[in-house]
A and B are shown apart, each in its own frame.
Chain A
Amino acid sequence: MTQEQAADDIIICRDVHKWYGDFHVLNGVSAYVRRGEVVVIFGPSGSGKSTFIRTINRLEVHQKGTIIVDGIEMSDDLRNIDAIRRETGMVFQQFNLFPHLTVLQNIMLAPLWVRKRKRSEAEAMAYELLERVGIKEQALKYPGQLSGGQQQRVAIARALAMQPRILLFDEPTSALDPEMIKEVLEVMKELAHTGITMLVVTHEMAFAREVADRMFFFDKGQIVEQGTPEQIFNNPQHDRTKQFLSQIL
């Protein structure tokens, strides 16, 4: 079932385990993600999806197994963690924009302080990104003045400002009203065609069908099944997958 590892896979996870106390939240996850691939992760609540993608940029620490991101092995070494975080951007369910900074400052922050770009350069790039996510005119507003959909698009622009190779999305549309979900998914679809690697935890199955190269089905801390949307939707192998799909489709 598991896809074979290839030489230049951008994310390599081998037998990753994590416990919260006695609770075995990740129970031997092995996964390989190709460069430029769009992977949709889905599964029941509490199955460890968030925990899994958060181990990839070290928001969560895994306790056993190997994670290699773009050739850098995840360890306690702060330099490795910094290097991996420069390669990965993350978009959260709750946006997590910085409320005391304007939209523009939110986006320029990391380029200025982490990448040490010149202010003029960072600003030009920020406007370019805002144009890409379609809210250039909101640049000088504060996050609290924007709608949820606009905030999430700012969050995407902020993640892109670090020019990452990998974007991690943790249920980016779950906190949004239905009419705003579409505008965020549109932006994500655009991104998917740019060759950036994307890991998306979502239950937007129409999005998965259209955009995903592969899908991981998570259950009880494991990837129970993976495959192309075609395989997953039309010919799921495991009972758990079938059952879960029948519940959400």
Chain B
Amino acid sequence: MSTTAQELERPQQQSDVGAWLRQNLFNGVLNTLITIVLVIFIPIVLFLIVRWAIFEATWQPVATNFRLLMTGRYPIEHVWRIQACMAIIYLLFGLSAGIWQGMVRTIGIGLVGFAIFFALFPFSVSARLWLVGSVVAALVGYFVGRPFSSKLRIPVIVLWLISPFIFWLLIRGGMLGLPLVTTNLWGGLLLTIILAVVGIIASFPIGVLLALGRQSKLPIIKWCCTLYIELVRGVPLISVLFMAVLMLPLFLPSNIRIDNLVRVLVAITGFSAAYLAENVRGGLQSVPRGQYEAASALGLNVFQTTFLIVLPQALRAVIPALVGQFISLFKDTSLVSIVGLAELLGIAGIVINQPEWLQVTGGVEREVLLFAALVYWFFCYTLSKISRRIEAHLGVGTR
């Protein structure tokens, strides 16, 4: 019924562009004004930006410091280790996408998009080859994973589980003949990604447990979780970072030294977990009582009910909120430059103050910061795109 009605209307609408404009852009005095102002200003602003970017901007600092922006002071002769990690990640995602299809494939496509995006940057030839190699690894994984999905399932899960240790070993070294690269040399986008990914992955289970704990029937657990969540949510991330980096050593015996990066990771994880817990709690509350009753009636115990029935539904309901939080965590990693870790924004600051750009009129701040912003934007935008795909895939809201 409704489709025929639409089909009847559509030709009329298309034939009359003026009517569409009147309806959507010039309906009312205020809208007309806004339309006119925007029609004049958007092209002007765009023109100015493009003209600046092409004719006036000095992109030299970004180009010469590209490696610094990507990996910090990580020694150049060891950069292959980071590239190896990347290739492993791509291979694993390719394999997983082939095995599980669906959601994982969506993420895989996003990753391939990353690699192609970065291949467009002025990397050295070898770095670009690595990027292309990573894409090839993903594709190989996909086409191996698909036909052998049932056989490869367990090995791939095991590989995923041990992969963090492989990455740690590769990037840090100091074992199995790999020279040590201390964490204070890690920087740039590499560090941003490490902070964000570890923060996201580690805070997820902790946040879920905190949310469950807050709903617990045992008062002690409930109060501890609530206290933690409310305490952490009441302070800014900066102060948590300062506490982890500057104050923690005061409380620890002087012979115990915890790596600065580890401390920052713990702080970010603990901070993010509290917010995650609140999001998950919203999801838990959205699961109707009937679901618990049906599970009890079938004889499922509390753990089975929680992990098989309630959590899957609760998490689905809050995917948009969770991704929103992961995006803000990704951006919040930029705060660690304040406690002396040189992630992407920290390196950008270093580049801006390099003496060789001092004579450039107007400085190079705009160019470098714009570049950093572009990288942040690309990651966050891709994350939110992926989340929208996942939502559509899971059919959120079609109960």
Contact = CB atoms under 8 A, between A and B. Distances in A.
B33 to A, nearest CB: 46
Interface stretch (B306-314, B366-374, B380-388): B306-314
Contacts of B291: 96, 98
Which 10 residue pairs of A and B lie closest in terms of their CB atoms, listed nearest first?
A96-B294, A96-B290, A90-B297, A110-B298, A85-B299, A114-B299, A100-B312, A99-B399, A144-B398, A113-B304
Interface residues of A, number: 25
Interface in B300-338: 300-301, 304, 308-309, 312-313, 316
A229 B327 CA distance: 64
A109 interface: yes
Interface in A135-186: 142, 144, 158-159, 162
A58 B292 CA distance: 13
A88 B297 contact: yes
Nearest to A158: B298
Contact of B297 (A85, A94, A97): A85
Interface in A182-229: none
A233 interface: no
B399 A144 contact: yes
Interface string A19-50: 00000000000000000000000000000000
A100 B300 contact: no
A127 interface: no
Interface residues of B, number: 22
A14 interface: no
Interface of A: 57-59, 82, 85-86, 88-90, 92, 94, 96-100, 109-110, 113-114, 142, 144, 158-159, 162
Given A113-B304, A144-B399, A98 B294 contact: yes
Contacts of B394: 100
Contacts of B18: none
B313 A110 contact: no
B398 A162 contact: no
Contacts of A144: 395, 398-399
Contact of A89 (B297, B308, B395, B399): B297
Contacts of A97: 294
Given A100-B313, A100-B316, A110 B300 contact: yes
B31 to A, nearest CB: 39
A93 to B, nearest CB: 9
A25 B395 CA distance: 40
A100 B291 CA distance: 11
B298 A162 contact: yes
B309 A98 contact: yes
B296 interface: yes
A31 to B, nearest CB: 20
Contacts of B312: 100
20 contacts: A57-B297, A59-B296, A82-B301, A85-B299, A90-B297, A92-B293, A92-B294, A96-B291, A96-B294, A98-B295, A98-B309, A98-B313, A99-B399, A110-B300, A113-B300, A113-B308, A114-B298, A114-B300, A144-B395, A158-B298
B290 A86 contact: no
Nearest to A58: B296
A162 B294 contact: no
A158 to B, nearest CB: 7
A109 B308 contact: yes
A80 to B, nearest CB: 12
A21 to B, nearest CB: 19
Nearest to B295: A98
Nearest to A168: B297
A59 B293 CA distance: 7
Nearest to A99: B399
B326 to A, nearest CB: 21
A96 B308 contact: no
Given A89-B297, A97-B294, A110-B300, 4 more contacts: A96-B290, A99-B313, A100-B316, A162-B298
Nearest to A93: B290
Contacts of A158: 298
A82 B308 CA distance: 18
A219 B288 CA distance: 29
A110 B294 CA distance: 11
A118 to B, nearest CB: 17
Nearest to B301: A82
A156 to B, nearest CB: 13
Nearest to A78: B301
